[in-house]
Chain A
Amino acid sequence: MDKKNSECHVIVVTSGKGGVGKTTTVANVSTSLAKMGYRVAVMDLDIGLKKLDLILGLENRVIYDIVQVIEGECTLKQALVRDKRFPELHMLPAAQTRNKDEITPEQVKDLCSQMRPDFDFVLIDCPAGIEQGFRNAIAAADQALVVTNPEVSAVRDADRIIGMLESAGFQDIKLIVNRIRPDMVRHGDMLSIEDLIEHLCIDLLGVVPEDRNVVVSTNRGEPIILNDRSSAALAFNNIARRIIGEEVEFPTFQDDSFWDRLRGLGRNLFSGR
């Protein structure tokens, strides 16, 4: 992808179910893209329950918010917070004391068209749920990333969201599976990547393992992608590389490999004695 002349991609990160890792994904994928030199803006549309500023470690730099921009109290430029660690990364903060139904899909579309000329990527952090906040978040997006966890409730909500995105005309919907634990999959105690793709029938963009480092970097307000010993960091960097069109192999978290089955067989034989 050509950094200077390519058009802007607006990507919404959504899930239906809360707490599956949307904000963590937005924070790390956008940081990774900015680190590669792309001009990136993140838009926090979780109005009333904002978290992106905290996860990015930018909470002390926020002056204005998105609702103030929409209501004309400040300009878009004034509200955008620039990340000093990654000069290409900008955040448009959510309002904390307002409600999701105080802005409309048209206003979000309007804001996005103002941002398109200045950025290569705009990532939108969508709130949980399927109500107004969701409709606002998907209104301006060209592509959608659906984040899910390998759990029945999260998969059911993801399926609902995929149906709604399809009805809204989205053609580019991709799946991110977060918090997978390969050991549990191997023991038959967690849905595998293959299972999830079979249920949801959309293309896979990334697989992020459960990783304690996520909590540690969230505590510090530092993006995890800077930690080169973290498996989640590698996964988020890989997602960013796939977004810019690189072919990146999926590391083998696979569950059904010959060796695993053989090992499983051995385990059953021994436990049967």
Chain B
Amino acid sequence: MLDFIKKIYTRDESSSRNQANNRLRVVLSHDRLNLTPETLNSLKEDIIVVIANHLDIDGSPEVRLITEGRNTALDISIPVKGR
């Protein structure tokens, strides 16, 4: 998984080929889960609310789908404030 993420970030992001790859990753994972961007957004908001009930959120949380092969994972990254 780590390799896979590294691979995404080390490609020349601006080429149209890489834009196509990035867009396809998002679209295919949504298609396969039958998930609309709105549903993902409201999921994101719900998750943030739950976390905020217990911890102080610091900065901008990220919730997104990442795909490897035909498998998809929900990637949640929420920075929290320590004392």
> If A188-B12, A201-B69, A201-B70 touch, does A195 touch B17 (CB 8 Å cutoff)?
yes
Interface flags, B25-55, vs A, CB<8A=1, else 0: 1011001100000000000000000000000
Report the minimal beta-carbon distance from B1 to chain A, rounded to whole angstroms.
14
Report the minimal beta-carbon distance from B67 to chain A, rounded to whole angstroms.
8
Which residues of A are found within 8 Å of B31, using beta-carbon distances?
156, 159-160
> If A163-B32, A201-B69 touch, does A191 touch B20 (CB 8 Å cutoff)?
yes
Which residues of B are found within 8 Å of A155, using beta-carbon distances?
24, 28
CA distance A159 to B30 in the complex (A): 12
Which residue of the partner chain A has the closest CB to B70?
A201
Interface band, chain A: 10 to 19
Report the minimal beta-carbon distance from A50 to chain B, rounded to whole angstroms.
30
The answer to whether B17 touches A156, judged by C-beta atoms less than 8 angstroms apart, is: no
The answer to whether B16 touches A188, judged by C-beta atoms less than 8 angstroms apart, is: yes
Which residue of the partner chain B has the closest CB to A184?
B17
Report the minimal beta-carbon distance from A186 to chain B, rounded to whole angstroms.
10
Q: Which of A162-212 contact B (CB under 8 A)?
A: 163, 185, 187-192, 195, 198-199, 201
> If A201-B69, A201-B70 touch, does A191 touch B21 (CB 8 Å cutoff)?
yes
Report the minimal beta-carbon distance from A163 to chain B, rounded to whole angstroms.
7
Could you name 14 residue pairs across A and B whose Cβ atoms are closer than 8 Å? Answer: A155-B24, A155-B28, A159-B28, A163-B32, A185-B17, A188-B12, A188-B15, A190-B17, A192-B17, A195-B20, A198-B69, A199-B25, A199-B28, A201-B70
CA distance A152 to B17 in the complex (A): 10
The answer to whether A152 touches B20, judged by C-beta atoms less than 8 angstroms apart, is: yes
Q: B81 at the A/B interface (Cβ < 8 Å)? A: no
Which residues on B are within 8 Å of A, measured CB to CB?
12, 15-18, 20-21, 23-25, 27-28, 31-32, 69-70
The answer to whether A156 touches B24, judged by C-beta atoms less than 8 angstroms apart, is: yes
Which residues on A are within 8 Å of B, measured CB to CB?
151-152, 155-156, 159-160, 163, 185, 187-192, 195, 198-199, 201
Specify which of B12, B15, B27, B70 is in contact with A156 (CB 8 Å cutoff). Answer: B27
> If A152-B23, A159-B31 touch, does A189 touch B70 (CB 8 Å cutoff)?
no
Report the minimal beta-carbon distance from A26 to chain B, rounded to whole angstroms.
26
Which residues of A are found within 8 Å of B17, using beta-carbon distances?
185, 188-192, 195
Which residues of A are found within 8 Å of B18, using beta-carbon distances?
188
> If A163-B32, A188-B17 touch, does A152 touch B12 (CB 8 Å cutoff)?
no
Report the minimal beta-carbon distance from A224 to chain B, rounded to whole angstroms.
28
CA distance A189 to B20 in the complex (A): 9
CA distance A199 to B15 in the complex (A): 18
> If A189-B17, A192-B17 touch, does A159 touch B25 (CB 8 Å cutoff)?
no
> If A191-B20, A191-B21, A199-B24 touch, does A159 touch B15 (CB 8 Å cutoff)?
no
Which residues of B are found within 8 Å of A189, using beta-carbon distances?
15-17
Which residues of A are found within 8 Å of B32, using beta-carbon distances?
159, 163
CA distance A2 to B46 in the complex (A): 61
Report the minimal beta-carbon distance from A156 to chain B, rounded to whole angstroms.
6
The answer to whether B21 touches A156, judged by C-beta atoms less than 8 angstroms apart, is: no
